[in-house]
Structure 1
């Protein structure tokens, strides 16, 4: 049996991206158990709310069950990265599949990253996925260094985060 821990939040697209990545693991249907984990800020909420009470959790649980994949749920409260690692240890997870979110370098510096903390401290493989609607083609490119950006095509980017160039251009789709 192969046990996968899938921490989720309320973002349905990110949760479905995680679910699809798990469903593509080799021999998934008969040999895998997925544990959905939601980490709450408040202990009383965690005790009274299961991941399936969250729309994303309910939809993912149904999606797995429709495909014959065993799914279980857990709720906890506290620091998300610590709770994810503790849950992985408790269930004997073989892998953690996280739904990453894009942040600017400044955003990551200011707010930290649960994904980064889990990756650095985990003793088992960690897979980080995006949402289903993640862009596969860059929307902007720096002509000086070639740095690519993925975001809203209508956004103006004044300075390249890589080389400091001041003319990041929109890429024609």
Structure 2
């Protein structure tokens, strides 16, 4: 089984881009398991991962392609949560979607994608997700 962790934020466009990119990887979908992780940086209402539209959409795309999907949620720093789950599950690949930012914006505000890439020795697929 090929194991993937995908970090899904609240952007439905980026969630869909991640799911579609995974389905385009040339492998037998029945041999792939994807864990969709949504990190609640703030969650005063106590929402669950099932209630996040971007996660639901990504799951739908993956399941329609025959990929096994699991859902996980956390709270805190998204990059740390993605890296921790990837290590816990000993995954083969991490998938994230980048945001369009200027080079200066990336330096000043950091980047989940950049932190994930620099924080692991695992393969990382970075998808292009258009802003909504």
TM-score relative to the length of structure 2: 0.91
Hey, what's the Cα distance between the residues in 2 that align with 1:109 and 1:52?
A: 33
Match of 1:97 in 2: 95
Match of 2:3 in 1: 3
User: In terms of Rg, which structure is larger?
Assistant: 1
The residue correspondences of 1:58-73 to structure 2 (distance < 5 A) are 58-73=56-71
Q: Is the 8 A contact 1:94 1:124 kept in 2?
A: yes
Q: Which has the higher helix share?
A: 2
Alignment RMSD, CA only? 1.7
**Unaligned regions of 5+ residues in structure 1, if any?**
135-173
Q: Which has the higher strand share?
A: 2
By how many angstroms is 1:21 displaced? 1.1
Q: Is the 8 A contact 1:52 1:61 kept in 2?
A: no
Which 4+ residue blocks in structure 1 deviate beyond 6 angstroms? none
Q: Structure 1 43/88 Cα, relative in aligned 2: closer, same or farther at 3 Å?
A: farther
What is the aligned length? 131
Q: Secondary structure at the match of 2:87?
A: helix
Q: Structure 1 51/67 Cα, relative in aligned 2: closer, same or farther at 3 Å?
A: same
Hey, what's the Cα distance between the residues in 2 that align with 1:17 and 1:77?
A: 23
By how many angstroms is 1:121 displaced? 1.1
TM-score relative to the length of structure 1: 0.70
By how many angstroms is 1:49 displaced? 3.2
Larger relative contact order (C-alpha < 8 A, sep ≥ 6)? Answer: 2
**Unaligned regions of 5+ residues in structure 2, if any?**
none
